[in-house]
Structure 1
Amino acid sequence: MRIKVGFISIEDIILPVGFNKYIQALIYNLFSNSLRRFVHEEGFRSKRKFSLFCFSSILEKGQYFKRMKVFNFGKNISFYISSPVTKLMENLVLNLLNGDKYFLGENDIYLSSVEVVYKEIAKDILKVNALTPIEVHQTYKENGRNKTKYFAPFEREFSKLINLNLKSKWEAFYKENLDRDIEIISLGNMNKSVVYYGFGDKKYVVEGWKGKFLLKGEPSVLAFAYDAGLGSKNSQGFGFIE
């Protein structure tokens, strides 16, 4: 299930570099207390814990002020939220419609629109655009220190790790193994994105890739990937495809 939400503010919406964390916090606060606690603390588990939701960045282009390291988005913003877990999305929409004022960082915002975006995936081929960077990585030690290796679409590990991640998410949700891969084909130019996530001492850099891809696989698996997101860190705003 996927929705597009719009918010309006009396003042210009000002957000710092790394503002994806604010969007994530807003989404968590839209869940009921019990559901928020479940998603954040317990989650959906296989070998790992998954929150099983994904979101796009703000769709409107903000004006960046380099000296202050902030974006000004004006008074209107919108973004997508997606999840294969219908219960999560229904709970979120209900709380959205029943709420009044919301907070995005230090900005007071008000709901202006909510739209359910329905897409039927009935074929074994799906052309998508990564609205946020698709991120897959491996960690290793070098001279006693943890290192992270990010992979690009032209590397074999990119598709391999996306499929391993997708199978883990499938198992966490359906409680059964997924024994089928999807094929991931890069279309045209790929754009590498270096994204800052978080703030202060907890800020870190994530590398990922945006661009158009052709996905091939069983329709049910493609639909799950479409709602859950591709790659890692989906609940932090990575791997959202349209």
Structure 2
Amino acid sequence: MQHELIDVLIIEDEPTLARLHADLINKHPRLRLVGIAASLAEAQEKLTALQPQLVLLDNYLPDGKGITLISHPLLLSANCTVIFITAASDMDTCSQAIRNGAFDYILKPVSWKRLSQSLERFVQFAEQQRVWKIVDQQNVDSLYQLQAKNFRLDNSSKGIEENTLARVQQLFNDRATYCFSVDEVVSETGLSKTTARRYLEHCVETGYLRVEMLYGKIGHPRRMYKRAAG
């Protein structure tokens, strides 16, 4: 049985982050990327032209805040759902997103695993809405559980800076089949070895990278890092 694809629009002004989010969407068999907007004005144009069913929405854009789009008639009339992805950690922004029906609220720096889980829950949510024409209490409870699923607080992101994380991830995104050593990551990114190792291990913990052990003839095995399968 062939499922209908869900059209996704990314609203993000950081090109590297937008590409990383696009890569994740493109790997999902049920999602289809229809566009990327880097400003509020561009977002409004693409919402009108593309009519996406899901928007990954950044808050801090060059010409205003993404949160203003959540209650915009364009979104309300288009039956479009929002996953808010932002550095905005103030309660006012979070509360406004929740009040206006955001499916999820993900703080930057974004955990690859966390965003993957959110997208998967939305796909399940959309599918159940499509299949269930009439609901009983169990159906309703299931929908609410998908939207409000609790996640373990991820303490591993402490000391992780968004742009540095994006730079490291883009290296692996560009060469998805290559195994990098810590020294190669240092050479490519200009980070110190300690910093590079911290970001690499963070990417392993969040599911973006996996570790392969390289066994040489002498000495200890080396940890090599490679993009995890999407």
TM-score, length basis structure 2: 0.26
Which of structures 1 and 2 has the larger relative contact order (alpha carbons within 8 angstroms, sep 6+)? 1
Max Rg structure: 2
Q: Which has the higher helix share?
A: 2
Whose strand proportion is higher, 1 or 2?
1
